[in-house]
Amino acid sequence: MTNPLSVSGQNAAGRERRRTTSSALPVMAVAAGLSVAGNYFAQPLLGLLGSELGMSTTTAGLTVAAAQVGYAVGLGLLVPLGDRYARRGLAATLLAATGLLLALAGAAPTGWLLLAATALAAVTSVGAQVLVPFAAELAPPHRRARDIGVVMAGVLAGGLVGRAASGLVAELAGWRTVYWVTAVLLLAVAAVVWRVLPGGGGDRGEATRPLRLWRSTAALLVDLPALRRPIATAALAMASFTVHLTVVTLLLVDAPYGWTPAVIGLVGLIGVIGPLAMPLAGRLVDRGHPRAVLVTGLVLAATGWAVMLPAQNGGIAWLLVGLVLLNAGQTAVLNASQTTAYELRPQARSRINAVFMTLFFAGGAVGGALVPVVWVNAHWTGACLLGAGLVALGLLVALAPRRRG
């Protein structure tokens, strides 16, 4: 016979957990966005950095590359530690460290110190990727994908706002100000994360010692074959998405457009559709339709590339509609793939996230590397075919028959 007191206690605990998760989710989303924003500050500031710090064009460009390399290092070394240490403490520590390093970057008297501080801040900025599996851990099963989507929306918004805010703030108050303001905000949000998020968790057993964690992370694709499909699909979609980040700019600076960087930046704000659509995609995944959301996202992205083809002749409306479809499709693919991956081995979500995100961004790097070759030889039409082809390949992976066992 069921003990009424036991049931009552379980219900009370469930209600308390829901309250904790609901109050923590906005904090996690804001913290994740602030954490990654600094990785994008240098992109619109290369000219200013070169003139004020005496950096050559090559050295200034390395600042952007250093952020990407540092983030990859952090994904591999720090994110897996979330399966050993309490995620609240790990996330708060990384957020605070990122804040201090961005403050150092803002005070850098030389280009090389700025470069070093940027690279180290990028390593610790993976606190955002500690928070994503933390959201999955805290969320009840019926809304897990939605909560993951909310925190990932913060990550996406952080990159978008980081690029836009750095140029605007630099023009109004100097380029150092954006680093210092973000540093203060990160230190404050680290304290809030420590206070608001639930403690506990982690596994200090022999199996989760750092060296074993890193080895098991590297071996996940072998030990967990089902992980390959969602990662491959997401990586191919990211490769396609990265193609548009470059070729749209190349299209709009050339005839018949000839637009200025400021106007092109406004077109980039269409990317806000990604963060806005992420929780919606999560709700559909939570209702038991991850595969449908994944396939729909891939189809939307492929359609977006097809719709954008007439843009080379001045059809700006076609370009804008295609960008909306592409951003919405990418959002759906990421949420469905990520949620599916996390459910394969819940006790290893941090390690899964490390592998997932590393290969996800590697896919983006491949897409970006293909752009110069395709653009030189086939211009806009070739870029659209490349983007659509990568998505189509992802669709084939997603729909391929599943092996038994």
Residue 128 in tokens: 């955002």
To the nearest whole percent, how much of the chain has pLDDT over 90?
Answer: 39
Q: What does the pLDDT look like over 207-250, one tens digit per residue?
A: 667 888 888 888 898 989 999 999 999 999 999 998 887 788 78
| Record: fold of 219-405 | Growth Hormone; Chain: A; (1.20.1250)
Residue 297 in tokens: 């996202």
Residue 230 in tokens: 């969602």
The closest alpha carbon to 59, from 39, 42, 34, belongs to 42
CATH 1.10.1060.10 fits domain 16-217: no
Question: Distance between alpha carbon 39 and the CA centroid of its chain, in Å?
Answer: 11
Pairwise CA distance, residues 151 & 169, whole Å: 25
What's the pLDDT band for 63 if we cut at 50, 70, 90? confident
Half-sphere CA count of 367, side-chain side, radius 13 A = 30
Q: What does the pLDDT look like over 290-322, one tens digit per residue?
A: 999 999 999 999 999 999 999 988 889 999 999
Higher pLDDT, 119 or 163: 119
Per-residue exposure over 126-138, b if at least 16 CB sit within 10 Å of its own CB, e if not: bbbbbbbbbbbbb
Q: What is the CA radius of gyration of the chain?
A: 21
Q: Could you tell me if 132 and 151 are in contact, meaning their C-beta atoms sit under 8 angstroms apart?
A: yes
What's the pLDDT band for 11 if we cut at 50, 70, 90? very low
Q: What does the pLDDT look like over 353-385, one tens digit per residue?
A: 889 988 998 888 888 888 888 988 989 999 999
| Greatest distance between any 2 Cα atoms in the chain | 78
Question: What is the average per-residue pLDDT within 44-48?
Answer: 72
Burial of residue 206, with CB atoms counted within 10 A of its CB: 0-12 exposed, 13-18 middle, 19 or more buried: exposed
Average pLDDT over the chain reads: 85
Q: 108 φ, ψ to 5°?
A: -60, 125
Q: Could you tell me if 77 and 104 are in contact, meaning their C-beta atoms sit under 8 angstroms apart?
A: no
> pTM of the prediction?
0.79
Burial of residue 109, with CB atoms counted within 10 A of its CB: 0-12 exposed, 13-18 middle, 19 or more buried: exposed
Interaxial angle between packed helices 4-37 and 87-107, expressed in degrees from 0 to 180 and rounded to the nearest 10: 20
Burial of residue 303, with CB atoms counted within 10 A of its CB: 0-12 exposed, 13-18 middle, 19 or more buried: middle
Name the segment(s) of the chain with CATH classification 1.20.1250.20.
Answer: 16-217, 219-405
